[in-house]
Structure 1
Amino acid sequence: MKTFLLTFLIVFVTFGYSQETEREDEIKKLKAVVINAQTDQPMESVHVVNLNQVIGTITNKEGEFSITAQVNDTLYFTFLGFKSQKVRVTNDMFKFKNTKISLTELAYALEEVIVRPYSLTGYLEIDVKNLPLNTAFQYSISGLSVGYEAGSKNPSAVTKVLGAILNPADLLRNLFGKKPNQMKKLRQMKEDDRIRDLLASKFDRETLTELLQIEKVDIEDILSNCNYSKSFIATANDLQILDAISSCYEEFKVLNRKR
C-alpha cells in the first residue's frame, strides 16, 4: 500500500510539474507599460520587437502595448533619443499585469555641422551639374530579377559582378550556411508591417543586428560581397539594407542549388 501511495505521489508531482512547464512555454499575449525612467511618464510610439517571434508593435498614448510572447523570449525596445533596451520575458510578467519597462534618455551633444557651399545659381540645369552624384552603377544580368551595384563604370566592374555571382564569397557561404535560422527571419521581418515601419525610420543598424544576431561589420561585408556600393551601404535606411540582404540571400540559395 505504501509503495502504491509513493508511486502515486511521484506521478502526481511529475504531472503537475510538466503541466506547469507546459504553461510557461505557452505562447500568449503579454501586456506591459513603457515609461520614461527620469519622469515616470508613459511613453507613446515606442517600438517593441519580439526578437524570437519576429513580430513588432508600438505603445499607445498610455505607454501600453500588447505582444505575442512566451517565457524566455527577448523583447527589444527602441525610441529616438532613448537608449535601446532588451528585456527577457519571465513568467511573472504574465502573472502580474502592472509590469513597467523603463527607458533611459540619452545624454548626447550636437555634433559640428559642416555646410558645404555649392555656389548655386538658381538655374536648374547648371546647379544639377554642380551637385555631388552617386557614381555607383548598376548592372542588369539576364536571369536575375534585380540589378547589381558595382562602383565605377569600367570593364573590371562588370567582371567583378559576374565573378561574385558565379563564385559566391566565403563570407556569404559561411554566414548564410551556418545561420540558416537567422536568415529565415528575413522573410518574417519583411512581412511584419510594424518592423518594416521601424526599420524605415532607422539608419543605425542596431535593430537589424539584434534580429539577425550578426555584427554591423558583417552587414557591411555581406553587402560589399553582393556588390552594393559604399554609398548605398552608408546612406541606406535599415529597411533598404534588409531588402538588399534578403535579395542577396535568395539569389545565393538559387545559385547554391544549381551547384
Structure 2
Amino acid sequence: MRYLLILIFCVSTVSGFSQDSTATQTPTKVKGTIVSASTSLALTEANIVNINQVIGTATDDDGVFEIKAKVNDTLHLSYLGYKSIKVRVTNDWLKFGNTKIEMTELALALEEVTVKQLELTGYLKVDMNQVPVTSNNRYRISGLPGQGYEAGKPNIATKVLGAIFNPADFLYNMFGRKPNEMHRLKKMKEDDEIRNQLSKRFDREMLLVLLQVTKFDLDEIVNQCNYSKDFINTANDLQILDAISECYEEYKVIKRSKERKNKRD
C-alpha cells in the first residue's frame, strides 16, 4: 500500500510538472507598440517585417502590432518620414509581451527644383518636336512562361536570345550567385501583408531587406532582365518584385533546359 501511494505521488508530480512546462513554453509571437521618439505618439500603419520568416504586418490605430517570431529573428520596422530600424527578438521580449519601440523622425531637406524640360512656343508643329518619344517593346521567347521581356531598345532581343545559349549570361551571373535570396521571392509573393506594403512603396528599401541584396544588385537584376528605364523609374516595389519573380522563373526554365542538354551531350 505504501509503495502504491508513493507511485501515485510521483505520477501526479510528473504530470503537474509537465503541465507547468507546457504552460510556460515560449510564445511564438511578439507584440510591440511603435511610437515617435519626438512626440511619443503612436505611429499608425507602420510596416513590420520578419526578415527571417518573410512575413509582414502593420500597426493598428494605437501603434500596436503582433507578428509571428522566434528568438533571434530580426524585425525590420519602417514608417514614412522616419528612420527605419532593425530589432532583434529576444527571450525577454517573447516572455514579457508588449514592448515600446521608438522611431526617430528624419530631417528632410528639400532642394530647389527648376522644371524646364520643355519651352513651348505656341506653334503645334514646333512644340510637338520637343516632346520626347519613348518606345518600350516587349519580347517573348517561345516555350517560356510569362509575358516576355520589356525593353527600351529593339536590339535587346538579340541580347535576350544570346543569353539563353551563353552559359555565362547575365541570368546565371545574377541569379546563380544568390540562390537563397531568390528562393525568398515565393514567400514574399505569398504573404498578403508584404504585397500590400510593397504596393505602396517606391523606395526599394523593403525589397533590399527581404532579398538581402544591395541597391546595386537590385538595379542590375531588373536592368539585366531587360525592363525599360521607364518601368524601373515609375514602378512601385510590388511591380519590381513581380518583375524579378517573372524573370527568375524564366531563368529556372532556361537553367533546366541547359542541364538536360548537357546531360544528353
Could you state the TM-score of these two structures normalised by the residue count of structure 1? 0.80
Cα deviation, residue 151, structure 1: 2.2
Size of the alignment, in residue pairs?
A: 236
Query: Structure 1 pair 168/37, CA: closer, same or farther in 2 (3 Å)?
Result: farther
Cα deviation, residue 127, structure 1: 8.6
Cα deviation, residue 198, structure 1: 1.4
Cα deviation, residue 157, structure 1: 3.0
* Aligned residue identity for 1:54: V
Secondary structure, in 3 states, of the residue corresponding to 1:182? helix
| 2:87 paired with 1:87 | yes
Secondary structure, in 3 states, of the residue corresponding to 2:152? coil
Query: Structure 1 pair 170/92, CA: closer, same or farther in 2 (3 Å)?
Result: farther
> Any stretches of 5+ residues in structure 1 without a counterpart?
1-18
Secondary structure, in 3 states, of the residue corresponding to 1:250? helix
Cα deviation, residue 148, structure 1: 1.0
Secondary structure, in 3 states, of the residue corresponding to 1:184? helix
Question: Within 2, Cα distance between the matches of 1:120 and 1:88?
Answer: 59
* Aligned residue identity for 1:147: G
Cα deviation, residue 185, structure 1: 1.1
Cα deviation, residue 152, structure 1: 2.2
8 Å CA contact 2:152, 2:228 repeated in 1: yes
**Where does residue 229 of structure 2 map in the other structure?**
230
**Where does residue 40 of structure 1 map in the other structure?**
40
> Any stretches of 5+ residues in structure 2 without a counterpart?
1-20, 259-265
Query: Structure 1 pair 61/161, CA: closer, same or farther in 2 (3 Å)?
Result: same
* Aligned residue identity for 2:199: A
**Where does residue 14 of structure 1 map in the other structure?**
none
Question: Within 2, Cα distance between the matches of 1:211 and 1:225?
Answer: 20
8 Å CA contact 1:51, 1:76 repeated in 2: yes
Cα deviation, residue 162, structure 1: 1.3
Query: Structure 1 pair 96/136, CA: closer, same or farther in 2 (3 Å)?
Result: same
Secondary structure, in 3 states, of the residue corresponding to 2:181? helix
The worse-fitting range, judged by mean Cα deviation, of 110-119 and 241-250 is 110-119
Query: Structure 1 pair 96/190, CA: closer, same or farther in 2 (3 Å)?
Result: same
Cα deviation, residue 248, structure 1: 1.0
* Aligned residue identity for 1:253: K
Secondary structure, in 3 states, of the residue corresponding to 2:86? strand
8 Å CA contact 1:205, 1:238 repeated in 2: yes
The worse-fitting range, judged by mean Cα deviation, of 237-246 and 129-138 is 129-138
Cα deviation digits, residues 192-217 of structure 1 (max 9, x gap): 12111211121221111110111011
Question: Within 2, Cα distance between the matches of 1:169 and 1:136?
Answer: 27
**Where does residue 245 of structure 1 map in the other structure?**
244
Query: Structure 1 pair 161/174, CA: closer, same or farther in 2 (3 Å)?
Result: closer
Q: Which runs of 4+ in 1 moved over 4 A?
A: 126-131, 168-171
